[in-house]
Amino acid sequence: MPSPSIDPRPISATIAAVIRDNQVLLVRRANPPDAGRWGFPGGKIGHGETLFEAATRELAEETGVSAEPLRVFTAVDAFDHDATGNLCRHFILIAVLFRWKAGEPVAGDDALEARWVDLNALTDRNLALSLDVAEVADQAAALMSEMPS
């Protein structure tokens, strides 16, 4: 049973999947869940904000990159546990596919680092990825390859 101060309901958030030249844009997270791990730019959806608006805002805040949202393509769960293993928060991350327009990544907001990562490097065990990042990136790359330029 969650502590009375913790809202037991899942939190809606977006993640921005930007693919360019066989690379994916990732950030190293500063905050839970997955602090220190590499994942997609993203964050909570604000009151009255659409999925595209939230994902575009988070992308700009965390990387400075400008991109066009194309479509929602998947959703994944992210769980934030405390040191004893108790569940603190449950996020539902809604993935939005983006087409890169301009800018090179510069870490901002709650990102420690931001960079383009070669899609083939996502299998490297030395790269600390958040859960499902490689699979979501593969889905995004496959969708981008089907899109007209």
pLDDT confidence bin for 109, thresholds 50/70/90: confident
Which helix or strand (DSSP H or E) is residue 133 part of?
A: helix 133-146
CA distance linking residue 21 with residue 47, whole number of Å: 34
User: Which tokens is 66 given?
Assistant: 């400008």
Task: Report the SS3 class of residue 109.
Answer: coil
Buried b (16+ CB within 10 A) or exposed e, 50-77: ebbebbbbbbbebbbbebebbeeebebe
The per-residue b/e assignment along 95-106, b for 16 or more CB within 10 angstroms, e otherwise, is: bbbbebeeeebe
SS3 64: coil
CA distance 94 to 31: 18
Over residues 21-62, the pLDDT tens digits come to: 999 999 999 887 788 999 999 999 999 999 999 999 999 999
Tell me: pLDDT of 15 over 60.
yes
Question: Is 90 exceeded by the pLDDT of residue 110?
Answer: no
Q: Where are the domains of the chain?
A: 11-143
Kindly indicate the confidence band of residue 80, based on its pLDDT and cuts at 50, 70 and 90.
confident
CATH 3.40.50.150 holds for 11-143: no
User: What pLDDT does 121 receive?
Assistant: 94
pLDDT exceeds 70 at position 20: yes
Does residue 147 carry a pLDDT above 60? yes
**Which pLDDT score, from 0 to 100, does residue 141 have?**
97
pLDDT score at 148: 83
pTM score: 0.91
Active site residues: 113
